[in-house]
Structure 1
Amino acid sequence: MKIGVIGAGRIGGNAARLWVAAGHEVLLSFSRDQARLEADAAKLGERARAGTVAEAAAFGDVVFLSVPWTQVDAALAEAGPLTGKIVIDTTNQFGREGAQSLPDGQTAAEFNQRRMPGARLVKSFNTLTAAFQASEAGRPAEQRVVLFMAGDDAEAKQVVAGLIDDAGFAVADLGGLADAGPMEAPRRAGALYGEEYRPAEAALAVAALRAGQALPATPDYSGHSDEG
């Protein structure tokens, strides 16, 4: 599969590395230092290259959006229309003064879907730090770290679930974009954001949220939040 990475920093760069190792092709983009971006792509081998944001958007069967919240509009302007594209949105709503509130009770995923009309947005890869994702990918199945996802397009979520697996993680489907709140910033009581889950515990947590119940006690693992 071809994956256009918009924002090849800590989260995006690590996901690109894992996907190249799994046999996918990636195009890295959105950097102030194009020479460094090209060097990073070269380190990944022949399945990776660097380019512009517009090239990444055109290249990808899937577009991986991993830029700071304050840069989302600029990145989308460079990308151009994403109609019909599966977009994995890793962003967290951190501004200069910390976590931002959003209008009309929207989740950050809903807010971003409105910023890219026609895109098939799936929220994921946003709940754990880049360093943690890099070090813990590829555990044995029963010990795999869970990456939660949320989206309104069932087919898009199936594709993203496959990419989560290819990256060495387990997937837990939280529901639609309106259900994404517990996996979004900030870290807080009763939320999934910033907590490490494994498959069995994640299934219990998702079931509780869907039933409108309190989350079970947080698993005894060291979880890590990330600002995008």
Structure 2
Amino acid sequence: MTTIALVTGANRGIGNAIAEQLAGLGTTVLVAGRDLARCSDAAAAIGPGAHPVLLDVTVQATVDTAADLVRERFGRLDILVNNAGISGRIGVTPSAADIDDVHAVFDTNVFGVIKVTNAMLPLLLRSPAGRVVNVSSSVGSMTRMSDPAHYFAALPAMASYPPAKSALNSLTVQYAKELRARGILVNAADPGACATDFTRPLGITIDRTADQGAAIAVRLATLPADGPTGRLFNDDGPIPW
């Protein structure tokens, strides 16, 4: 039985690398994103096992339509990777934050995950081994952010991206608690800073590739039945909350 996976924000960057790596394992991958033309190009580049899907995580109608498409074409979903995310304005302190910017980041990075996961959940429950992977970040680790000895302590205080990832990490735990008894494992993946369109505005040199960053998400998406759930992982293992 062919494994069916849906990856949001999969037309470029880490999401595209996740889709490509899953397809390389023989998985049928739905390349989901806000721009159907770009998703079509990305799916064509991946190969015949990849299919484009229009899905904007902030627009419920597109989420519902995508779920209907999966139901009609495949009848179930085995892997959901919630990868779509935005950074908002980097380096803006909480006291100077634009509430509209903060809301936009949470709308995509947190509320969008709830929209997509809940819409796809009936299909995941039809899978013999449902897996949900939320692409997060260790900048959401309050342990590391509050540790004076960790290099995160030198990062500027921000009101949008790190708090949104902290919220996503907490949400991961709550879904894991709810779904473990039903055979669905839910984990968060920290791909690390990779050289993608997402990080280029930072103006710093990053040697890590999207392919390298995608590996942890793929590993969590293919966990065995006795694998962990409700945790945040990077290449080196679990990350403290």
- Which TM-score applies when normalising by structure 2? 0.49
Residues 45, 120 of structure 1: CA spacing in aligned structure 2 closer, same or farther, 3 A cutoff?
A: same
Structure 1 pair 20–124 and aligned structure 2 pair: CA distance change class (3 A): same
The one-letter code sitting in structure 1 at the alignment partner of 2:163 is A
Give the Cα separation in 2 of the matches to 1:122 and 1:34.
27
Question: 1:62 Cα deviation (Å)?
Answer: 2.4
What is the alpha-carbon root mean square deviation over aligned residues?
4.3
CA contact (8 A) 2:3 2:26 kept: no
Cα deviation digits, residues 135-194 of structure 1 (max 9, x gap): 4489xxxxxx8679789xxxx7316x9xxxxxxxxxxx6x442xx26x4xxxxxxxxx5x
Deviation string 1:30-56 (CA, Å, 9 cap, x unpaired) is x22111111111111111111353134
The count of residues paired between Structure 1 and Structure 2 equals 161
Query: Could you say which structure has the higher helix fraction?
Result: 2
> What does residue 122 of structure 1 align with?
186
Residue in structure 1 matched with residue 175 of structure 2 by the alignment: 112
Distance across 2 between alignment mates of 1:158 and 1:80: 19
In structure 1, what is the equivalent of residue 14 of structure 2? 11
- Residues 79-118 of structure 1 show CA distances to partners (whole Å, capped at 9, x for unaligned) of 352325412312328683532555xxx8442223468795
Q: Classify 1:120/1:97 alpha carbon distance in 2 versus 1 (closer, same or farther; 3 Å).
A: same
Task: Say whether residues 1:96 and 2:160 are aligned partners.
Answer: yes
Change (3 A) 1:135 1:80: closer
Cα distance, 1:11 vs. partner? 2.8
C-alpha distance 176-39 of structure 1, shift in aligned 2 (>3 A): closer
Residue segments in structure 1 that go unaligned for 5+ positions in a row: 139-144, 162-172, 184-192, 210-214, 216-228
- Percent identity over the alignment is 16
Q: Aligned residue for 2:51? A: 49
Given that 2:135 and 2:190 are in contact with CA atoms closer than 8 Å, whether structure 1 keeps it comes out as yes
Secondary structure, counterpart of 2:22 in structure 1: helix
Q: Distance in 2 between matches of 1:20 and 1:84?
A: 21
Separation in structure 1 between the aligned mates of residue 45 and residue 223 of structure 2, nearest angstrom: 30
User: Structure 1 residues 2 and 129 mapped into 2: Cα distance closer, same or farther (>3 Å)?
Assistant: farther
Structure 1 residues 84 and 113, CA gap change in structure 2 (3 angstroms): farther
Asked whether the equivalents of residues 37 and 50 of structure 1 are also in contact (C-alpha less than 8 Å), the reply is yes
* 1:36 counterpart SS class: helix
Q: TM-score, normalised by structure 1?
A: 0.52
**Residue aligning to 1:134:** 210
Separation of aligned partners in 1, 2:13 and 2:39: 12
CA gap of 1:123–1:51, structure 2 versus 1, over 3 A, is same
Structure 1 residue 28 corresponds to structure 2 residue 31: yes
Q: Is 1:109–1:123's contact at 8 Å kept on the other side of the alignment?
A: yes
SS of the residue 2:136 aligns to: coil
Q: Which residue of structure 2 lines up, in the alignment, with residue 165 of structure 1?
A: none
**2:125 aligned residue:** 83
Aligned in 2, Cα 1:77/1:14: closer, same or farther, shift over 3 Å?
same
Q: CA deviation at 1:120?
A: 0.4
